[in-house]
Amino acid sequence: MKLNITNLQKSFGRHAVLTGASYIFEKGKIYGLLGRNGSGKTTMFNCIAGGLPFEGGAVTIEPDGGEIARLAKYDDIGFVFTEPRLPEFMTGYEFIKYFIDVNKSKIGRVVEIDKEFEFIDFHPADCHKLIKNYSHGMKNKLQFLSFLILRPPVILLDEPLTSFDVVAALQFKNMLKSLKENHIIIFSTHILQLAQDLCDELIILHNGKLSGLDTGKLSEKDFENQILEMLTAEGDFDA
């Protein structure tokens, strides 16, 4: 399976954010998306997920088995936001149960809620607390779990580890590695070391376009300087 981003274009008024972004993402890989603040990473994720219309280009899915590429659908994409969007008047358990009931036809299998919480290392006692009392990291885990239950082919993660402590971040990294075989995982981050440690490929969003980095240079001493030069080249902007 492949996710094809082809000549994606998005502007806000006279301000062009994506100016022909193109890249091919493949199943079985974790991609790190790097870019300065305001470079358009979240905008691009919203366009891919269908939450934001774009003026030009296409987002297509190329299924396994040589089938013809088709336009990506809402069910193809799981988008985990930086700021979780959850019903804080419910408990974590109530929310997941409700989510499963509403999406029963999409899930198509029996979901054991306790095992799902165990998979994301959620303490049993916390499952029955109100979401409004959760830490930011716990809310992120719960949001991520809802997408895992749907098992979308493509998972987009917008700055996923910013709210996690050291232990939770390590657990989350291991979780992503265990999932990548059957998914396309793309996450944006400002932490270069994280991207180097976790990702199979690194992508730069710069001047509205996507560029792949030579993964063979990840271990070179001047790799960080190369990234810095690319992201500070004339034409990029900082929010």
pLDDT of amino acid 235: 53
pLDDT of amino acid 174: 86
Among 155, 173, 200, 210, CA closest to 32: 200
Domains of the chain in start order, with CATH, are 2-84+153-231 (3.40.50.300)
Query: Mind listing the pLDDT tens digit for each residue in 117-144?
Result: 998 889 999 999 999 999 888 898 898 8
DSSP 142-189: HHHHHHHHH--SEEEEESTTTT--HHHHHHHHHHHHHHGGGSEEEEE-
Alpha carbon separation from 101 to 34, 90, 146, 239 (Å, rounded)? 37, 15, 12, 40
Confidence check: pLDDT of 48 > 80: yes
| Spatial separation of the C-alpha atoms in residues 192 and 91, rounded to whole Å | 35
Query: Is the C-alpha dihedral spanning 215, 217, 222, 225 positive or negative?
Result: negative
pLDDT of amino acid 128: 95
Across 29-33, 140-144, 230-234, least confident range: 230-234
